[in-house]
Structure 1
């Protein structure tokens, strides 16, 4: 695993001149709202394919934003600091093997564009207006335009032009640098509710599968197995994962279980998926009941160590941070807690080792958050 040693974010969203040095194997990010925790995870996720705008499309904080009437133009524009006249993203990541400096620029202008119903970029945005007769079928509009360029270590790697109301991006065949790619797995606070899991990775690892089942007894003490049912009983185009438990007469689809079970399976399967890579867990404690935290978190940390996974977690919860710090005492030497804050419009971080964080919290009565 190529461990990331430091991150220097000069400007990204609301972050300005933030440095995280001496990163550990397990890094806990905490702090007030809007202090930059999720933004740091986004920077790290971009390292999956840092030389392409393709990865940045997945980082737009809109979920299904296109379906809500918001365009790629708006999504990308929000990546830049709203207060800066010159739109630029700049960050530097130092790992054991290389130093990667990323710069993204955006030049905003206006351009006359001919809008037609069949124009792919705008078809969905304007289709209802065309149908209702509120817009002519062939017209010229003056649209805002973003000219984006992406540089790695001062070499231009990608570029893209976006117009306001653009909801599609062509799938260009860009040649990427395989040496820059990393295995990075990001889990959002609501991912478990969306149904995305990595169970195929689990089922390919029998020993870890058995360990997982033991942990999941915290959520269903009668659990026997998790299997993929390829039968199309509900008319869907794909099968479903089912849990066989002594508490029911037949295997039940995972989606009938509570959020705690779903989140635990998601987190544990993500650990296995992230083997020899980086795992990013945003508000990692969401949906996990406090009674199951110790055993679940211990397995996650110990398995990350076993599989060479560097971990970055964010949390607001004092209790969840305390559980992470204390669930596996032998791993405190591999932990660091970063408390983020803003001072005079600058982003700052206080770093504490795992042992020091416990001392500060338990014996000095100070807040880590």
Structure 2
């Protein structure tokens, strides 16, 4: 396994994790558990930890805050109200999710990272330690306004590396254009088109036209991707994101979002095959029993055994526990119809 893959992690005072440990992660990791148990928070902790350098660490934290609260950007009508609302919500979100002057620690076999927030009237200072090196950065409220006004595309937040994430709302059009360009540079457009035709035989191919994602169909010609259902968009997002995560890591939240259960086998085969070919570690969350069973079935079919199923459970004490099934344990649980959800 790649030395930059996360194999184990310890989390303290981050989101719902007061004191959490998990080990045994593999190349592809499916995370299950009840609602609000911390599946997305676990992926966010891994994402922050992997961005363990001076510049990207702060960007990763701020990206997560923006992504968590992104629905405000879409629902507010006027730019002035949007900025004021988001600035206020940003401050209260920090207070709620990241207590002031409390050290948040995310340590793994890859990086040892800690950070703390100190709020002031016009700015928030983030102090952070990465692998025993101390840094600090002051984020002014005006910078956050710029971030919101640009819908998250402010240049100082761009992270140009092979660590990518797909949230439940999917990728922005700008991200799709950027990732597809990377696909074109390695001449892999035909792979995406072939898989899309298997998904929907009405599709001829996918293209970027005037910086807009478009799908050419037999019945209606070119149609904006935004006019398609969530399934097609999610399918495209996942394939292009794996390619730009080569030698890195990809996080996918709620993988079954918009995907009919009959298409899950095809999707898992793509993920398991490409992640191995491109040396990419993948973390995925799900609520679906069908998704878990498909994950195991396809892994068995193509002999992909570098996998893990992680189930998060909240104990009576409030502590979050991680139960980890490697391929053999998952096989035993499903074949004998044990509960693995």
* Superposition TM-score tier, normalisation by shorter sequence: 0.7 to 0.9
The answer to whether the Cα contact below 8 Å between 2:127 and 2:137 also exists between their aligned partners in 1 is yes
**1:336 aligned to 308, 313, 338, which one?**
308
Distance of aligned partners of 1:167 and 1:223 in 2 relative to their CA distance in 1, 3 Å threshold: closer
Residue 54 of structure 1 is matched in structure 2 by: 59
SS of residue paired to 1:8: strand
The answer to whether the Cα contact below 8 Å between 1:73 and 1:163 also exists between their aligned partners in 2 is no
Residue 94 of structure 1 is matched in structure 2 by: 109
Please say if 1:205 is aligned against 2:205. Answer: no
Q: Give the deviation of 1:155 after TM superposition.
A: 2.1
Q: Distance in 1 between matches of 2:103 and 2:72?
A: 23
Q: Distance in 1 between matches of 2:54 and 2:5?
A: 19
Q: Distance in 2 between matches of 1:48 and 1:24?
A: 19
Q: Give the deviation of 1:44 after TM superposition.
A: 2.0
Q: Give the deviation of 1:168 after TM superposition.
A: 5.3
Q: Give the deviation of 1:205 after TM superposition.
A: 3.1
Distance of aligned partners of 1:214 and 1:14 in 2 relative to their CA distance in 1, 3 Å threshold: same
Residue 165 of structure 2 is matched in structure 1 by: 186
Q: Give the deviation of 1:253 after TM superposition.
A: 2.3
Q: Distance in 2 between matches of 1:297 and 1:324?
A: 6
Residue 33 of structure 1 is matched in structure 2 by: 35
Aligned residues: 312
For residues 262-317 of structure 1, the C-alpha deviation after alignment (integer angstroms, 9 at most, x for no partner) is 11111111111111100100111101111211112211210111011000011111
For residues 118-176 of structure 1, the C-alpha deviation after alignment (integer angstroms, 9 at most, x for no partner) is xxx6xxxxxxxxxxxxxxxxxxxxxxx75431111332122326679x7458x9989xx
Residue 70 of structure 2 is matched in structure 1 by: 63
Please say if 1:246 is aligned against 2:209. Answer: no
Q: Distance in 2 between matches of 1:74 and 1:317?
A: 32
Could you say which structure has the larger radius of gyration?
1
Residue 303 of structure 1 is matched in structure 2 by: 274
Q: Give the deviation of 1:195 after TM superposition.
A: 7.5
Residue 236 of structure 1 is matched in structure 2 by: none
Q: Give the deviation of 1:258 after TM superposition.
A: 1.9
Residue 289 of structure 2 is matched in structure 1 by: 318
TM score, norm. by length of structure 1: 0.75
Residue 73 of structure 1 is matched in structure 2 by: 91
The answer to whether the Cα contact below 8 Å between 1:87 and 1:107 also exists between their aligned partners in 2 is no
Structure 1 unaligned regions, length at least 5 = 112-120, 122-144, 231-238
The answer to whether the Cα contact below 8 Å between 1:203 and 1:209 also exists between their aligned partners in 2 is yes
SS of residue paired to 1:300: helix
Residue 132 of structure 2 is matched in structure 1 by: 154
Distance of aligned partners of 1:195 and 1:153 in 2 relative to their CA distance in 1, 3 Å threshold: closer
**1:276 aligned to 236, 247, 253, which one?**
247
Q: Give the deviation of 1:77 after TM superposition.
A: 2.7
Structure 2 unaligned regions, length at least 5 = 74-81, 148-153
